[in-house]
Amino acid sequence: MSACLLVAACGAPSGRDAINDPFEPANRTVHGFNKAVDRSLVAPAARGVGVVPEPVRQGIDNLADTLGLPGDIANNLLQLRLADAGQNTLRLGMNLTFGVAGLFDFSSAIGLAGKPTDFGETLHVWGVGEGPYLELPLAGPSTARDAVGMVVDTVFDPVGRALPVREANAARVIRLISRLGDRNRFSATVDSVLYDSADSYAQARLLYLQNRRFQLARGKAAGGAEGAGDDAFIDPYEDPYAD
Protein backbone atom coordinates (compact mmCIF):
# COMPACT_ATOMS: atom_id res chain seq x y z
CA MET A 1 0.00 0.00 0.00
CA SER A 2 2.87 2.41 0.77
CA ALA A 3 4.16 1.86 -2.79
CA CYS A 4 0.74 2.76 -4.17
CA LEU A 5 0.67 5.95 -2.09
CA LEU A 6 4.14 6.85 -3.33
CA VAL A 7 3.01 6.49 -6.95
CA ALA A 8 -0.13 8.50 -6.24
CA ALA A 9 1.98 11.30 -4.82
CA CYS A 10 4.03 11.41 -8.01
CA GLY A 11 0.89 12.22 -9.98
CA ALA A 12 0.73 12.63 -13.74
CA PRO A 13 2.24 15.20 -16.11
CA SER A 14 0.19 18.36 -16.53
CA GLY A 15 -0.48 18.28 -20.27
CA ARG A 16 -2.08 15.63 -22.45
CA ASP A 17 1.15 14.90 -24.27
CA ALA A 18 3.51 15.92 -21.47
CA ILE A 19 6.38 13.66 -20.51
CA ASN A 20 7.41 13.38 -16.88
CA ASP A 21 10.96 12.03 -17.03
CA PRO A 22 13.01 13.38 -14.10
CA PHE A 23 15.24 10.29 -14.15
CA GLU A 24 16.21 10.58 -17.82
CA PRO A 25 19.99 10.17 -17.34
CA ALA A 26 19.53 6.95 -15.36
CA ASN A 27 16.79 5.79 -17.73
CA ARG A 28 19.08 6.30 -20.72
CA THR A 29 21.75 4.18 -19.04
CA VAL A 30 19.22 1.38 -18.52
CA HIS A 31 18.04 1.83 -22.12
CA GLY A 32 21.58 1.28 -23.35
CA PHE A 33 21.80 -1.86 -21.25
CA ASN A 34 18.47 -3.11 -22.60
CA LYS A 35 19.58 -2.50 -26.18
CA ALA A 36 22.76 -4.47 -25.57
CA VAL A 37 20.77 -7.36 -24.09
CA ASP A 38 18.35 -7.23 -27.00
CA ARG A 39 21.14 -7.27 -29.57
CA SER A 40 23.11 -10.08 -27.97
CA LEU A 41 20.43 -12.29 -26.42
CA VAL A 42 16.80 -11.38 -27.01
CA ALA A 43 16.81 -10.79 -30.77
CA PRO A 44 18.80 -13.99 -31.55
CA ALA A 45 16.52 -16.01 -29.25
CA ALA A 46 13.48 -14.48 -30.93
CA ARG A 47 14.81 -15.48 -34.35
CA GLY A 48 15.21 -18.99 -32.98
CA VAL A 49 11.58 -19.04 -31.90
CA GLY A 50 10.69 -17.76 -35.36
CA VAL A 51 11.86 -20.99 -37.00
CA VAL A 52 9.41 -23.04 -34.93
CA PRO A 53 6.46 -24.14 -37.08
CA GLU A 54 3.56 -21.70 -36.96
CA PRO A 55 1.02 -24.16 -35.49
CA VAL A 56 3.37 -24.83 -32.57
CA ARG A 57 4.00 -21.13 -31.98
CA GLN A 58 0.27 -20.44 -32.13
CA GLY A 59 -0.36 -23.16 -29.57
CA ILE A 60 2.24 -21.60 -27.26
CA ASP A 61 0.64 -18.17 -27.68
CA ASN A 62 -2.78 -19.64 -26.90
CA LEU A 63 -1.43 -21.32 -23.77
CA ALA A 64 0.22 -18.08 -22.64
CA ASP A 65 -3.03 -16.20 -23.16
CA THR A 66 -4.98 -18.80 -21.18
CA LEU A 67 -2.42 -18.70 -18.35
CA GLY A 68 -2.88 -14.93 -18.14
CA LEU A 69 -6.66 -15.06 -17.84
CA PRO A 70 -6.86 -15.69 -14.06
CA GLY A 71 -4.79 -12.56 -13.45
CA ASP A 72 -6.98 -10.61 -15.87
CA ILE A 73 -10.10 -11.80 -14.04
CA ALA A 74 -8.69 -10.77 -10.65
CA ASN A 75 -7.89 -7.28 -11.96
CA ASN A 76 -11.28 -7.00 -13.69
CA LEU A 77 -12.90 -7.64 -10.32
CA LEU A 78 -10.66 -5.13 -8.53
CA GLN A 79 -11.66 -2.58 -11.16
CA LEU A 80 -15.36 -3.45 -10.63
CA ARG A 81 -15.61 -4.27 -14.32
CA LEU A 82 -17.85 -7.24 -13.69
CA ALA A 83 -18.86 -7.73 -17.33
CA ASP A 84 -15.19 -8.00 -18.33
CA ALA A 85 -14.56 -10.43 -15.47
CA GLY A 86 -17.48 -12.56 -16.58
CA GLN A 87 -16.33 -12.57 -20.20
CA ASN A 88 -12.78 -13.55 -19.25
CA THR A 89 -14.11 -16.26 -16.93
CA LEU A 90 -16.26 -17.68 -19.71
CA ARG A 91 -13.28 -17.47 -22.05
CA LEU A 92 -11.09 -19.34 -19.55
CA GLY A 93 -13.64 -22.11 -19.09
CA MET A 94 -14.18 -22.59 -22.81
CA ASN A 95 -10.49 -22.62 -23.67
CA LEU A 96 -9.70 -25.09 -20.90
CA THR A 97 -12.43 -27.47 -22.04
CA PHE A 98 -13.11 -27.07 -25.76
CA GLY A 99 -9.64 -25.62 -26.41
CA VAL A 100 -7.81 -28.68 -25.03
CA ALA A 101 -6.41 -27.04 -21.87
CA GLY A 102 -5.76 -23.78 -23.73
CA LEU A 103 -3.83 -25.11 -26.72
CA PHE A 104 -6.54 -23.80 -29.03
CA ASP A 105 -8.26 -20.43 -28.76
CA PHE A 106 -11.81 -21.75 -29.00
CA SER A 107 -13.26 -18.57 -27.48
CA SER A 108 -11.91 -16.27 -30.19
CA ALA A 109 -13.09 -18.70 -32.84
CA ILE A 110 -16.67 -18.17 -31.68
CA GLY A 111 -16.25 -14.41 -31.30
CA LEU A 112 -15.62 -14.20 -27.55
CA ALA A 113 -12.76 -11.73 -27.28
CA GLY A 114 -10.54 -11.42 -24.25
CA LYS A 115 -10.45 -8.40 -21.95
CA PRO A 116 -6.75 -8.16 -21.03
CA THR A 117 -5.72 -5.91 -18.18
CA ASP A 118 -3.15 -5.64 -15.39
CA PHE A 119 -2.66 -4.17 -11.95
CA GLY A 120 -1.22 -1.01 -13.46
CA GLU A 121 -4.64 -0.41 -15.01
CA THR A 122 -6.26 -1.28 -11.68
CA LEU A 123 -4.20 1.47 -10.03
CA HIS A 124 -5.27 3.84 -12.82
CA VAL A 125 -8.94 2.99 -12.18
CA TRP A 126 -8.40 3.65 -8.46
CA GLY A 127 -7.11 7.12 -9.32
CA VAL A 128 -3.39 6.53 -8.84
CA GLY A 129 -1.31 8.90 -10.95
CA GLU A 130 0.99 7.77 -13.73
CA GLY A 131 4.10 9.00 -11.99
CA PRO A 132 7.47 9.51 -13.66
CA TYR A 133 8.56 7.58 -16.72
CA LEU A 134 10.94 4.70 -16.02
CA GLU A 135 12.93 2.32 -18.16
CA LEU A 136 13.29 -0.93 -16.26
CA PRO A 137 16.18 -3.38 -16.75
CA LEU A 138 15.04 -6.17 -19.12
CA ALA A 139 11.36 -5.13 -18.81
CA GLY A 140 11.77 -1.93 -20.83
CA PRO A 141 9.59 1.20 -20.88
CA SER A 142 7.24 1.75 -17.95
CA THR A 143 6.02 4.32 -15.46
CA ALA A 144 6.18 4.35 -11.66
CA ARG A 145 2.57 3.18 -11.51
CA ASP A 146 3.04 0.43 -14.07
CA ALA A 147 6.25 -0.71 -12.36
CA VAL A 148 4.32 -1.21 -9.11
CA GLY A 149 1.61 -2.97 -11.09
CA MET A 150 4.13 -5.29 -12.69
CA VAL A 151 5.52 -6.28 -9.30
CA VAL A 152 2.05 -6.96 -7.89
CA ASP A 153 1.01 -8.98 -10.96
CA THR A 154 4.19 -11.06 -10.69
CA VAL A 155 4.07 -11.66 -6.93
CA PHE A 156 0.36 -12.40 -6.75
CA ASP A 157 -0.03 -14.21 -10.08
CA PRO A 158 -2.90 -16.67 -9.44
CA VAL A 159 -1.44 -19.32 -11.73
CA GLY A 160 2.03 -19.14 -10.19
CA ARG A 161 0.62 -19.36 -6.68
CA ALA A 162 -1.82 -22.18 -7.44
CA LEU A 163 0.45 -24.53 -9.37
CA PRO A 164 3.25 -26.70 -7.96
CA VAL A 165 6.73 -25.28 -8.46
CA ARG A 166 7.60 -27.33 -11.55
CA GLU A 167 4.32 -26.52 -13.31
CA ALA A 168 4.57 -22.86 -12.33
CA ASN A 169 8.07 -22.69 -13.83
CA ALA A 170 6.79 -24.35 -17.00
CA ALA A 171 4.07 -21.69 -17.21
CA ARG A 172 6.73 -18.97 -16.94
CA VAL A 173 8.74 -20.58 -19.75
CA ILE A 174 5.64 -20.69 -21.96
CA ARG A 175 5.02 -16.99 -21.36
CA LEU A 176 8.67 -16.18 -22.09
CA ILE A 177 8.60 -18.09 -25.38
CA SER A 178 5.39 -16.29 -26.33
CA ARG A 179 7.05 -12.93 -25.67
CA LEU A 180 10.05 -13.93 -27.77
CA GLY A 181 7.60 -14.84 -30.52
CA ASP A 182 6.17 -11.32 -30.28
CA ARG A 183 9.69 -9.88 -30.57
CA ASN A 184 10.23 -11.91 -33.71
CA ARG A 185 6.82 -11.04 -35.17
CA PHE A 186 7.41 -7.30 -34.79
CA SER A 187 11.15 -7.45 -35.46
CA ALA A 188 11.10 -4.96 -38.35
CA THR A 189 9.39 -2.28 -36.29
CA VAL A 190 11.31 -3.00 -33.08
CA ASP A 191 14.64 -2.91 -34.93
CA SER A 192 13.61 0.34 -36.61
CA VAL A 193 12.90 1.97 -33.24
CA LEU A 194 15.93 0.59 -31.40
CA TYR A 195 18.60 0.69 -34.08
CA ASP A 196 17.49 3.06 -36.84
CA SER A 197 16.07 5.97 -34.81
CA ALA A 198 18.14 9.08 -34.27
CA ASP A 199 17.22 8.81 -30.58
CA SER A 200 15.89 5.35 -29.79
CA TYR A 201 15.30 6.23 -26.13
CA ALA A 202 13.04 9.18 -26.92
CA GLN A 203 11.22 7.20 -29.62
CA ALA A 204 10.58 4.22 -27.35
CA ARG A 205 9.43 6.54 -24.55
CA LEU A 206 6.99 8.35 -26.85
CA LEU A 207 5.52 5.12 -28.22
CA TYR A 208 5.10 3.57 -24.80
CA LEU A 209 3.49 6.58 -23.12
CA GLN A 210 1.07 7.38 -25.92
CA ASN A 211 0.03 3.79 -26.48
CA ARG A 212 -0.36 3.12 -22.75
CA ARG A 213 -2.45 6.25 -22.25
CA PHE A 214 -4.62 5.29 -25.20
CA GLN A 215 -5.02 1.78 -23.78
CA LEU A 216 -6.04 3.06 -20.34
CA ALA A 217 -8.48 5.53 -21.90
CA ARG A 218 -9.91 2.55 -23.82
CA GLY A 219 -9.77 4.47 -27.07
CA LYS A 220 -11.84 7.39 -25.78
CA ALA A 221 -10.70 10.98 -25.84
CA ALA A 222 -10.34 12.40 -22.36
CA GLY A 223 -8.65 15.27 -20.61
CA GLY A 224 -5.31 15.17 -18.86
CA ALA A 225 -2.08 13.45 -19.67
CA GLU A 226 -3.57 10.00 -19.42
CA GLY A 227 -6.52 10.71 -21.65
CA ALA A 228 -5.23 10.31 -25.15
CA GLY A 229 -7.72 9.66 -27.91
CA ASP A 230 -7.37 8.42 -31.47
CA ASP A 231 -5.30 11.41 -32.56
CA ALA A 232 -2.64 10.56 -29.99
CA PHE A 233 -2.47 6.86 -30.73
CA ILE A 234 0.60 5.42 -32.40
CA ASP A 235 0.26 1.76 -33.25
CA PRO A 236 3.30 0.22 -34.89
CA TYR A 237 3.19 -2.23 -32.00
CA GLU A 238 1.86 -2.06 -28.48
CA ASP A 239 5.14 -1.99 -26.61
CA PRO A 240 8.62 -1.04 -27.87
CA TYR A 241 9.90 -4.27 -26.27
CA ALA A 242 6.91 -6.32 -27.46
CA ASP A 243 5.59 -6.58 -23.92
- DSSP H helices, 98-243, are 106-109, 119-125, 144-155, 158-162, 165-185, 187-191, 200-216
Are 120 and 146 spatial neighbours (Cβ–Cβ below 8 Å)?
yes
Query: What Rg do the C-alpha atoms of the chain give, in angstroms?
Result: 18
State the Cα angle at 66 between 61 and 71, rounded to 5°: 120
pLDDT tens, residue by residue, 153-181: 999 999 988 889 999 999 999 999 999 99
Mean pLDDT of 28-35: 98
pLDDT band at 70 (very low <50, low <70, confident <90, very high): very high
Contact 187, 210 (CB under 8 A): no
* Angstrom distance (rounded) from CA 151 to CA 129: 17
Which tens digit of pLDDT belongs to each residue from 93-129?
A: 999 999 998 899 999 999 999 999 999 999 999 999 9
